[in-house]
Amino acid sequence: MSDLAQTSQATKAPFISLAKPFSPEDEVALREALKRCSPSTFEAAVQFRKTGNPEHLPAVVIGVVERYVEPELRIKLKDAADDLRMIEDLGIDSLTMMEIVILVEDVLHMTINNEELRNLRTVGDVKAFIDCKVRGLPLPKPTKFLPIEHIATVMPIQPPFLFINEASVSSLGASGKYKISGQEFFLQGHFKDNPVMPASIMLEALGQLAVLYLLEGLVPEPGKQVSSSMIYFTGCEGVRAHRICKPGDILSLSIKPKRMKMPLATFEGTIRVGQEKAVIAEEITLTFGFIDAVVPPVEAAPVEVVSNTSTPVASAPKAS
Amino acid sequence: MPRAYITGLGFITSIGNDSRAVEQSLRDLKHGFELYPHFDKPDIPCKVVGTVKGFNTESTDQEDWTYPEVYSFKRELLRTMAPHGLYAHCALIQAIKDAQLTDADVSNESTGLYTASGGSPFLTHHFHSRLQAVGVMRCSPFGIVSSIVGTLNFNLVAAFKIKGASCGFSSACASSAHAIGFAYDEITLGRQKRMFVVGAEDGNKDAILPFAGMRTLSLQTDPSLASRPFDAARDGFVGTGGSTVLVIESEDEVMRRGVTPYCEVLGWGQASDGYNVAISHPEGAGLEKAMRNALQATQLSSDAVDYINAHATSTLIGDVSEVKAIKAVFNQPNIKPLVSSTKALTGHGLSLAGAMESAFSALAIQKGFTPGSAHISKVDPACEGIALLKKTENTAPTIVMKNASGFGGANVSLLFKKV
């Protein structure tokens, strides 16, 4: 324990410090800290601590998360899908989340505060968060879960041509679901007596998710916002359909931004049904444009912010 | 007046990890002491402990712990436990099974749980050392709930989904006797139909060794001589840990479920010495009053009692003051009740003692024996004048009195009756 104490003291300030070489004592402490994690987790942590190369981070983070997930749920982490939800899918409660954070802090020599913790809802969030911290980049926007009502409110596309039922959006990308109900108007003719979801519509669904990302996930220029009436499709490349999708199938859509260069935004997209690949698009490109942000009317500071201290709001001294 | 009955028992003790083993040890006067490896150091004068067998809770990392195969624990449960929390969880499983309770019987608004333990100095020490060494933000979020005095009820109430009354009692070595007394009150006042009473202690180095500083531990190196209440050569108590759970139920519940209870809880009394923070009153004044209060509450005359399971821990002062108190209460030409201290076999379970020894009494009543006071070769002249039972008798007592005394001069006397 004393070794551990010294090393964490020594590297307290920066997220990662290579000022001090990774000593055999560090390795012993690291092995002890990760004794219930897989050998590959330990290896990745050693490599990270030796080189500071963030490439090793996902393996460390997944390894630490895995160690705290009940054995019967660990299989879910094998695919390491970034949209796995910590609470709902992995059974990790807020206390376990804290255990994970403490071990990650210990192993990577970084500090994570409570505010930051609250936003980490998916495995992808956790990986992205730690990656940003280590690289010293601004932290990603937390994942937002958007129900259909919200989606329909913000999107320029409306039923019956909206192919997203629910979605979650962060600054790193978006994922969503669409259930083929069988009631879609075009299925009557596509095909005769054989309803099959058109590949062009599936590509449309990915495009719609990219639109949702631009509206809800993109961090715009200061004072600007993306205009919902200025987004149009410009092109796509490398599209392949792997699976016939029929009524009853639930499409799991996901897109990730590849390039952002005004006025073009390029994404990669995939659709899965369960674990099966359905559609892949290497590139989907949209055009978009900014308008001036609508400044919300100035309101009084929210009460919660003030009442974080034990001083009652009403009696909080202003002049003194 | 509504009545209350003991309908289930569970044991993780130095003399057995189930009621069958405990009964056998009590009948055969087989002790649970061993030379304790952690005390095998020149600067530690005491050597013997009443060890819990079949468990290994030496590590501060709960996932390293081992326990008998009949039990299984998810990490989620273990991570917030102190060693005595593990023992208590196992004993509670036994008690629930023994009382034939369904899940619905355990988790409802009419079923509560009272606990008694001294917390876990072992884990408290660990967490505070870590706090000093690596800073508070690298400390386990479970440091508090796994170690402070309430850890037993926090864990058990959550794990067993207890919905009724719950709290912990803290009157040192009288704690779990208090818990039984107040559980009896909950039931007879009609507030609860069923109460679990849980006594438990870590019984490890951190829990026991500080008593050596008070010069209250036996320095004997022979495990079969270390704990000998009432004996002239006694030189202090032997520490022990583990857990005992009692299920206490209302008469209506006993009838509804059609179970046969171990015995009836007749009632109880308590009184305090108002004398010294750590030393018992030389005349046993508080304990005498507690016994009188118990008799008065149950409207029994003193000659109705035929066995006293004494608090006697094998300390020089404590045993004598209890004998004086007994003599004062049972002031007849021939003092009738047989007296023994089962701590001669188990050691002193501290907060666990009252519950453990009440459970021994319930077992004795139902299984038909009266446990003897082991390891007496020469009775201390100051302890003469009471009917010390040196060998276990194969007859059941009808009315049992169970005494318990704790620091600050807290005294509890409980009465149990054969049904």
Q: Which among A4, A36, A95 is the top mutation candidate for probing chain B, defined by the most B β-carbons within 10 Å of its own β-carbon?
A: A95
pLDDT attached to residue A87: 85
Cβ-Cβ contacts under 8 Å, B135 against chain A? 8
Cβ-Cβ contacts under 8 Å, A99 against chain B? 79, 140-141
pLDDT > 60? residue A7: no
Report CA dihedral (A168, A169, A174, A175) to the nearest 10 degrees.
0
Nearest CA-CA partner of B229 in B365, B397, B386: B386
Quick check: A48 and A57 in contact, CB under 8 A? yes
Please tell me which of the candidates A68, A95, A105 has its beta carbon nearest to residue B141. Answer: A95
Query: For residue B67, what pLDDT band results from cuts at 50, 70 and 90?
Result: very high
Q: Do B140 and A105 touch (CB under 8 A)?
A: no
pLDDT attached to residue A306: 37
Q: How far is the alpha carbon of B50 from chain A, nearest alpha carbon, in Å?
A: 31
Distance CA A68, CA A46 (A): 20
Q: Do A102 and B140 touch (CB under 8 A)?
A: yes
For A8, nearest residue in chain B (alpha carbons): B134
The predicted-structure confidence for B163-216, as pLDDT tens digits, reads as follows 999 999 999 999 999 999 999 999 999 999 999 999 999 999 999 999 999 999
Distance CA B374, CA B223 (A): 12
Q: How far is the alpha carbon of A173 from chain B, nearest alpha carbon, in Å?
A: 32
Cβ-Cβ contacts under 8 Å, A111 against chain B? 137
Query: For residue A11, what pLDDT band results from cuts at 50, 70 and 90?
Result: very low
Report CA dihedral (B67, B70, B73, B77) to the nearest 10 degrees.
-90
Q: Is B135's Cβ below 8 Å from some Cβ in A?
A: yes
- In CATH, what number does A144-292 get? 3.10.129.10
Q: Do B141 and A1 touch (CB under 8 A)?
A: no
Can you state the angle between helices A39-51 and A57-68, rounded to 10 degrees? 140
Please tell me which of the candidates A5, A68, A98 has its beta carbon nearest to residue B141. Answer: A98
Quick check: A125 and A142 in contact, CB under 8 A? yes
Residue B111: which CATH number?
A: 3.40.47.10
Cβ-Cβ contacts under 8 Å, A4 against chain B? 133-134
Cβ-Cβ contacts under 8 Å, B138 against chain A? 8, 102, 105-106
Where along chain A do its domains lie? 2-135, 144-292
Number of Cα atoms under 13 Å in the Cβ half of residue A296: 3
Q: Is B258's Cβ below 8 Å from some Cβ in A?
A: no
ipTM confidence: 0.78
- Burial environment of residue A243 by CB neighbours within 10 A (0 to 12, 13 to 18, 19 or more): middle
CA distances to A120, A175, A192 from A141, rounded to whole Å, are 10, 15, 45
The residue ranking higher by pLDDT, B182 or A293, is: B182
Q: Do B74 and A70 touch (CB under 8 A)?
A: yes
Residues in chain B: 419
Residues of B identified as active-site: 173, 311, 348
Q: Which among A1, A34, A116 is the top mutation candidate for probing chain B, defined by the most B β-carbons within 10 Å of its own β-carbon?
A: A1
Beta-strand relationship, B307-309 and B399-406: parallel
Total domains, chain B: 1
The predicted-structure confidence for A141-178, as pLDDT tens digits, reads as follows 777 889 899 999 999 999 999 999 999 998 888 999 99
The predicted-structure confidence for B250-264, as pLDDT tens digits, reads as follows 999 999 999 999 999
Q: Give the tokens for residue B30.
A: 């087989």
pLDDT attached to residue A47: 93
Interface of A with B in 117-156 (CB under 8 A): none
Helix runs in B160-313, H state only: 175-188, 205-208, 210-213, 251-257, 285-298
- pTM of whole model > 0.90? no
Q: What mean pLDDT is reported for chain A?
A: 83
pLDDT attached to residue A76: 82
pLDDT attached to residue A19: 54
Q: Do B130 and A1 touch (CB under 8 A)?
A: yes
The residue ranking higher by pLDDT, A59 or B342, is: B342
Q: Do B142 and A102 touch (CB under 8 A)?
A: no
Q: Do A70 and B142 touch (CB under 8 A)?
A: no
Q: Do B135 and A2 touch (CB under 8 A)?
A: no
pLDDT > 50? residue A86: yes
pLDDT > 80? residue A23: yes
Segment B349-372 shows an average pLDDT of 98
pLDDT > 50? residue B404: yes
Q: How far is the alpha carbon of B161 from chain A, nearest alpha carbon, in Å?
A: 18
Cβ-Cβ contacts under 8 Å, A102 against chain B? 137-141
pLDDT > 70? residue A10: no
For B127, nearest residue in chain A (alpha carbons): A1
pLDDT attached to residue B268: 98
Query: For residue A297, what pLDDT band results from cuts at 50, 70 and 90?
Result: low
Q: Do B137 and A105 touch (CB under 8 A)?
A: yes
The predicted-structure confidence for B151-172, as pLDDT tens digits, reads as follows 999 999 999 999 999 999 999 9
pLDDT > 80? residue A2: no
Distance CA B279, CA B250 (A): 37
pLDDT attached to residue B376: 97
Supply the range of the domain harboring residue B401: 4-417
Cβ-Cβ contacts under 8 Å, A8 against chain B? 134-135, 138
Cβ-Cβ contacts under 8 Å, A105 against chain B? 137-138
For A114, nearest residue in chain B (alpha carbons): B137
Q: Which among B129, B138, B146 is the top mutation candidate for probing chain A, defined by the most A β-carbons within 10 Å of its own β-carbon?
A: B138
pLDDT attached to residue A275: 84
Query: For residue A80, what pLDDT band results from cuts at 50, 70 and 90?
Result: low
Q: How far is the alpha carbon of A51 from chain B, nearest alpha carbon, in Å?
A: 24
pLDDT attached to residue A54: 85
pLDDT > 60? residue A307: no
How many CB atoms sit inside 10 A of residue B27's CB?
17
Cβ-Cβ contacts under 8 Å, B79 against chain A? 99
Q: How far is the alpha carbon of A169 from chain B, nearest alpha carbon, in Å?
A: 30
Nearest CA-CA partner of A260 in A221, A203, A208: A221
CATH for A2-135, options being 3.10.20.30, 1.10.540.10, 1.10.1200.10, 3.90.180.10: 1.10.1200.10
Q: Is A4's Cβ below 8 Å from some Cβ in B?
A: yes
pLDDT > 80? residue B356: yes
pLDDT > 70? residue B136: yes
Q: Is B72's Cβ below 8 Å from some Cβ in A?
A: no
pLDDT > 90? residue A70: no
Q: How far is the alpha carbon of A88 from chain B, nearest alpha carbon, in Å?
A: 16
Distance CA A53, CA A44 (A): 10
pLDDT > 90? residue B413: yes
- Chain A / chain B CB contacts < 8 angstroms: 33
Query: For residue B122, what pLDDT band results from cuts at 50, 70 and 90?
Result: very high
A191-230 CB burial, b ≥16 within 10 A, e <16: eeeebebbbebbbbbbbbbbbbbbbbbbeeeeeeebeeee
Q: Which among B129, B137, B144, B154 is the top mutation candidate for probing chain A, defined by the most A β-carbons within 10 Å of its own β-carbon?
A: B137
Cβ-Cβ contacts under 8 Å, A95 against chain B? 141-142
Q: Is B130's Cβ below 8 Å from some Cβ in A?
A: yes
